[in-house]
Amino acid sequence: MAKHKIALIPGDGIGKEVLPEGVKVLEAAARRFNFELEFTDFDWSCDRLVKTGKMMPDDGMEQLKAFESIFLGAVGWPGVPDHVSLWGLLIPIRRDFDEYVNLRPVRLFEGVPSPLANRKPGEIDFWVVRENTEGEYSSIGGRMFQGTDDEMAIQQAIFTRKGVDRILKFAFDFASTTKKKHVTSATKSNGIIHTMPFWDERFAEMCKKYPNIKADQYHIDILTAHFVRNPDWFDVVVGSNLFGDILSDLGPALTGSIGVAPSGNINPERKYPSMFEPVHGSAPDIAGKGIANPIGQIWSGAMMVRHLGYPEAAEAIERAIAASLVEGGPRTKDLGGNGDTKTVGAAIAELVKTV
Ligand code: NAI
Ligand code: MG
């Protein structure tokens, strides 16, 4: 039986409450689909920072290299500045492990109300692929003449052929596995006249290599409008770091609670571990009460087993989530219920056995 080593980082706040539910469901899926997951726990967190002065030990990244994937809860806690916790743990993992794909599904489940009127499940079902390492979020630039009338700031966007081609290739390869087989590119080559025409050229080149994938592109401004007005048009939407950042928050916002949304930070070449985590943070306002929605974590687990090579297991977890939401099963307060984290996790773990 194939065995996969997984690093568990529960982190802070509700991360510590939802992660065990994710593990519970993963174990049920692994039993059913005949693979083994070997979990190792790491207490890297703001708690640890307060006790030892470090979010993770000096050789933390070295330790993580031994794992195939990282399953993370959430990081951040009041009293520790957010940039300290972020740069002490999440950013090093995303950057040093070259997790250049940020992948987020956007799916409306039956039983979860959408802020968009009259939208039914099936009409909102697509993926956002965000470039995660270069683009507009670069450290190149500077400021001059601060505090004077001549004050100025320059921020350079970095688009490399390697960086653009690899994110586009991921999007097309991923679309080859979907039903609709359709990639949409987010651009702005009418206003941003160097980097975005380059992005469009590389997109056109990539299209030629995937004749069976339908491809189109929209400028980012009208694309955001189409997300709201015509979410049924999309399958895989690929964008630069900035455009992808915006779309990957807008997309899940169309489908209800933040407690449901998952994400993957992926190194497709598998040279380094990839990291799967819910979109939400540590939610200090509800932490310790046992009422956090574990579905974002559980769905992140589905993305992880898909990455590990078990699409059937991923689909079973997704079906179990969907079934728990329609069948009048327990649901947490953010979805209008009064179920607790553990009951929801246990219900989904039970469904995974059969659904
Ligand atoms: P948050 O996502 O933790 O909470 C925002 C709101 O959504 C809160 O009202 C919270 O109760 C609710 N919420 C979040 N997840 C929920 C769940 N699973 N079930 C039910 N309700 C849920 O964002 P916030 O408050 O801005 O950040 C809190 C801390 O988390 C900060 O330290 C921040 O830096 C960190 N953070 C960490 C992230 C990560 O680890 N990737 C992502 C976002 C924030
Ligand atoms: Mg964002």
Mean pLDDT of 18-42: 98
Domain co-membership, 77 together with 143: no
Are the C-beta atoms of 71 and 301 separated by less than 8 Å? yes
pLDDT band, residue 326 (cuts 50/70/90):
confident
Residue-range definition of the domain harbouring residue 317: 1-116+256-355
CB of 285 closer than 6 angstroms to any ligand 1 atom = yes
23-27, 252-256, 319-323, 325-329: range with lowest mean pLDDT: 325-329
- Using most ligand atoms within 8 A of CB, pick from 12, 21, 265, 282 the residue to mutate for ligand 1: 282
pLDDT band, residue 111 (cuts 50/70/90):
confident
Closest listed ligand to the CA of 250: 2
Bridge-based pairing state of the strands 274-278 and 262-266: antiparallel
**Ligand 1 atom 37 nearest Cα:** 281
**Ligand 1 atom 36 nearest Cα:** 281
**Among 284, 291, 290, residue whose Cα is nearest residue 332:** 291
* Ligand 1: nearest atom to the Cα of 76: 32
pLDDT of residue 1: 83
93-97, 214-218, 342-346: range with lowest mean pLDDT: 93-97
Domain co-membership, 327 together with 340: yes
pLDDT band, residue 113 (cuts 50/70/90):
confident
Closest listed ligand to the CA of 258: 1
Bridge-based pairing state of the strands 125-131 and 101-107: antiparallel
**Among 351, 298, 302, residue whose Cα is nearest residue 19:** 298
Report CA(90)–ligand 1 centroid distance (Å): 15
Domain co-membership, 170 together with 244: yes
Tokens of 69: 């994937």
Domain co-membership, 156 together with 246: yes
**Ligand 1 atom 17 nearest Cα:** 259
At residue 71's C-alpha, the angle toward residues 66 and 75, to 5°, is 110
Is the interface score ipTM higher than 0.95?
A: yes
**Among 76, 71, 86, 8, residue whose Cα is nearest residue 42:** 8
Domain co-membership, 231 together with 265: no
For the CA atoms of 263, 265, 268, 271, what is the dihedral angle to 10 degrees? Answer: -140
pLDDT in tens, 238-287: 999 999 999 998 998 999 878 999 999 999 999 999 999 999 999 999 99
At residue 66's C-alpha, the angle toward residues 62 and 69, to 5°, is 110
Asked if residue 221 belongs to a domain, the reply is yes
Are the C-beta atoms of 284 and 78 separated by less than 8 Å? yes
CA–CA distance, 198 with 161 (Å, rounded to integer):
9
Please tell me whether residue 236 adopts helix, strand or coil conformation.
Answer: strand
CB of 318 closer than 6 angstroms to any ligand 1 atom = no
CB of 108 closer than 6 angstroms to any ligand 1 atom = no
Closest listed ligand to the CA of 128: 2
Domain co-membership, 215 together with 268: no
CB of 168 closer than 6 angstroms to any ligand 1 atom = no
* Ligand 1: nearest atom to the Cα of 80: 32
* Ligand 1: nearest atom to the Cα of 82: 34
Are the C-beta atoms of 180 and 141 separated by less than 8 Å? no
CATH code assigned at 310: 3.40.718.10
Report CA(107)–ligand 1 centroid distance (Å): 20
Count: domains in the chain: 2
Give the mean pLDDT of the chain.
95
Q: What share of the chain is helix, strand, coil (3-state, %, to 5)?
A: 40, 20, 40
Kindly report the pTM of this predicted structure. Answer: 0.93
CB of 280 closer than 6 angstroms to any ligand 1 atom = yes
Report CA(248)–ligand 2 centroid distance (Å): 7
- Using most ligand atoms within 8 A of CB, pick from 249, 280, 297 the residue to mutate for ligand 1: 280
Domain co-membership, 342 together with 286: yes
CB of 345 closer than 6 angstroms to any ligand 1 atom = no
CATH code assigned at 163: 3.40.50.2300
Domain co-membership, 220 together with 140: yes
Residue 154's alpha-carbon distances to 122, 140, 145, 263, 351, in angstroms, are 44, 8, 12, 31, 53
Domain co-membership, 170 together with 101: no
* Ligand 1: nearest atom to the Cα of 72: 40
* Ligand 1: nearest atom to the Cα of 74: 40
Domain co-membership, 71 together with 104: yes
pLDDT at 328 over 80: no
Domain co-membership, 108 together with 138: no
- List, in sequence order, the alpha helices (H) in the chain: 15-33, 46-52, 60-64, 82-85, 91-96, 161-176, 195-209, 220-229, 241-253, 295-307, 311-326, 341-352
Report CA(91)–ligand 2 centroid distance (Å): 13
